[in-house]
Amino acid sequence: MSRPVQYNNTVKFAGIPEGYMGDGFMATNFEKVVGLARKNSIWPLPFATSCCGIEFMATAASHYDIARFGSERMSFSPRQCDLLMVMGTISKKMGPILKQVYLQMAEPRWVIAVGACASSGGIFDTYSVMQGIDQVIPVDVYVPGCPPRPEAILDGFMKIQELVHNESLRRRQSDHYKELLNSYGIQ
């Protein structure tokens, strides 16, 4: 006997940006449309070096399903991604490599430090471990935990979505942003 068909009635569609609507037309702000599109199609670059990377694998798998956010397309080419997700212990020797990957990403780009190690060195307060990736690249969101559960990674991801959605198109040309990059020696 065939099983009864079940419909998922809880699917939510992306909200329509604020604007003016009438019969057959809608007018809104260009930034809002771009923000909406970017927010729902973030392509992550998983830079995973240790245990936190395993939690990310669970986040990408069917149960937690990062594809719900339009982000199932992992990119291992920095030129084709928007979000650098750093997961795991980063040694000082790896710092320049991480920075190079960041530099190869096109603007606009965002960064999440996933877990205690990427955020602050974690339990490894040793001569060889970098005490947080923000020593070499700017970070937008920090996810605490050792390791953070997939729910926490998704929460951090949704914080990034908020940033992406609300970011001004002019931010990357602003003096403030240039100063931030200059402080990391990036022109």
The CA distance from 114 to 46, in Å, is 10
Closest contact distance (angstroms) between CB of 65 and ligand SF4 is: 21
φ/ψ region of 35 (left if φ > 0, alpha if ψ in -120 to 50, else beta) reads: alpha
Amino acid at residue number 69: F
User: If binding is defined by CB under 6 A, does position 88 make contact with ligand SF4?
Assistant: yes
User: If binding is defined by CB under 6 A, does position 121 make contact with ligand SF4?
Assistant: no
Closest contact distance (angstroms) between CB of 116 and ligand SF4 is: 4
- Pick the binder of ligand SF4 from 51, 74, 129, 186 (CB under 6 A): 51
Exposure on the CB side of residue 69, measured as CA atoms within 13 A: 25
- Pick the binder of ligand SF4 from 45, 59, 84, 89 (CB under 6 A): 89
What DSSP character marks residue 15?
A: P
User: If binding is defined by CB under 6 A, does position 98 make contact with ligand SF4?
Assistant: no
User: If binding is defined by CB under 6 A, does position 106 make contact with ligand SF4?
Assistant: no
Closest contact distance (angstroms) between CB of 122 and ligand SF4 is: 4
Beta-strand relationship, 110-114 and 141-143: parallel
Per the CB < 8 A criterion, the answer to whether 141 and 113 are in contact is yes
User: If binding is defined by CB under 6 A, does position 57 make contact with ligand SF4?
Assistant: no
